[in-house]
Amino acid sequence: MTTSAELGLPALTVAPGGVATTTLTVRNDLDIVEAYTFEVVGDCAAWTTVEPTRISLYPGTSETVTVRLAPPRSPATRAGEFPLGIRVLPVERPDLVAVPEATVTVTPFHELRAALAPRRRRGWLRGRYRASVRNQGNAPTTVAFTPGQAGEDLRFGVAPEKLRLEPGESGEVRVQARTRKLIWFGKPATWPFEVTVGPEERADTKDGKDGKDGKDGDSAGGSTSAAPAAATAPEAQKPVLEGEFLQLPIFPRWLLALLALLIALLLAWFALVRPAVRSSAKQAAEKAVAQQNATPAPPAGVPAGDTPGTPSNGSAPGGQTKPGAGKPATGPGSQGGPGPGGLAVPGTGQQSSATIDVQTGSGAAATGSYQVPHGKVFDITDLVVANFQGDQGLVTITAGNKTITTIALETFRNQDYHWVTPLQVPEDQAVTANVTCEVPGTPASGKQAPSCHELLNISGTLSDIRPGN
């Protein structure tokens, strides 16, 4: 006498996210009333249930229960064949346990999750992006990346071109979009593009789409092929990542306006200033000639340059030295003499330069400055701004209480300014550079910097000043 149990199907096929059922028949061949419980064993135990969970049978009777298989749609449910066993446990005679078995086939499914970062890049010629993907299916997948654009303005590169991912595994590739030509002048251009992410298509899969099976819809073979196509249609959808490259012109429009202004100033200088300078010099020369002609000739016997009663060596009569003779002139026009109150003393200026180094993190602002020493005046003739990392943000340069310029960091790497008429910064005032960092750039090393870093070099003449009377 024993307990017998048999599964209705020796092999089952189930799709993740779906449900498959079979039956289990239990027969009591004992001479007593026996109760039975059920325990699922094997790789399918986590998502297999038996309903009802307990039955009681009289001697010589049998009963059928339902076995329900519902694997979840997740990478943890691997595709393949797995054994299914159900232990039938008698309550009164536990030594007479029965374990019927079957084979369960879990079908594969493909699902990918992908993202593109950053979505938007700006630059002169190229933009670099990162495409990440995660295999949410239950089978190993070779993922291919296919970038494209509506026109032919961009060329693309992907490294590596393919990724082999196990279920639940993630990977990342580098995507580069490059324009075919530079924009020297004008407005920025926006180039949208897409990156399609999907399983690698095999040649036999493409060939299987053609043939009689797709034409003969009334035959038995046509019905069989149509069902898998409908079942796998959602999996054929591939993630499409949208990106954008903003191409900047080499020379922005404001630079053209500045060049036009400089040309206009040069033309005005040649037309107005130079004739005025020549006229002043001519008038001064004519005045000097007139004064020389009006000076009376010295009397006979007196050497040239001497006047009666005044020795030629600057001595007063009687051998005394004439007051003030032999001393250098100290008037406003003499070299090295004191100037008027609050102005630079002629002859004391020296070439000088200073560098302002400003570093700040993303989303923050910082200010660097150079203060003119007390008793000095700084005439700025040259100014160079260096954005060697290619940061994104804003820099504002001021001299004293005047703003020199405000420029966007992403529009330049090195920017220089020069003045014919120097910018004068009085004593105790400062030249400042205020930097607002939006996104740190990527230097020549190819690794994005942790913070924005700008340099401002100022050059000119540093002169002494005379306190006001």
- CATH architecture of the domain with residue range 350-443+450-464: Sandwich (2.60)
Does the pLDDT value for residue 295 go beyond 80? no
* Interval 125-135: pLDDT, tens: 899 999 999 99
| Average pLDDT across the chain, whole number | 80
| pLDDT level of residue 336 (50, 70, 90 thresholds) | very low
Q: Output DSSP code: residue 467.
A: P
> What's the rounded Cα separation, in Å, for the pair 187 and 254?
11
Selection from 461, 399, 456, 460 nearest residue 430 by Cα:
399
The per-residue pLDDT for 114 is: 93
Q: What are the helix and strand counts (H, E) for the chain?
A: 4, 26
* Interval 420-464: pLDDT, tens: 899 889 989 999 999 999 999 888 887 888 999 999 999 999 998
Start and end residues for every CATH 2.60.120.380 domain found in the chain: 350-443+450-464
Q: Which residues contact 364 (CB under 8 A, 6 or more apart)?
A: 436, 437
Which tokens hold the place of 107?
């079908």
Does the pLDDT value for residue 85 go beyond 90? yes
H, E, C per residue of 184-198:
CCCCCEEEEEEEEEE
Start and end residues for every CATH 2.60.40.2310 domain found in the chain: 110-202+238-270
CATH, domain range 110-202+238-270: 2.60.40.2310
* Interval 203-212: pLDDT, tens: 554 554 444 4
> What's the rounded Cα separation, in Å, for the pair 453 and 188?
25
The per-residue pLDDT for 12 is: 92
* Interval 21-53: pLDDT, tens: 999 999 998 889 999 999 999 899 999 999 999
Does the pLDDT value for residue 465 go beyond 80? yes
Task: Give 126's strand partners.
Answer: 178
* Interval 87-145: pLDDT, tens: 999 999 988 899 999 999 999 998 999 999 999 999 888 999 999 999 999 999 999 99
Start and end residues for every CATH 2.60.40.10 domain found in the chain: 3-106
88 burial (CB, 10 Å; 0-12 / 13-18 / 19+) is buried
Selection from 376, 372, 351, 365 nearest residue 451 by Cα:
365
pTM for the full model?
0.45
* Fold classified for 3-106: Immunoglobulin-like (2.60.40)
The per-residue pLDDT for 186 is: 77
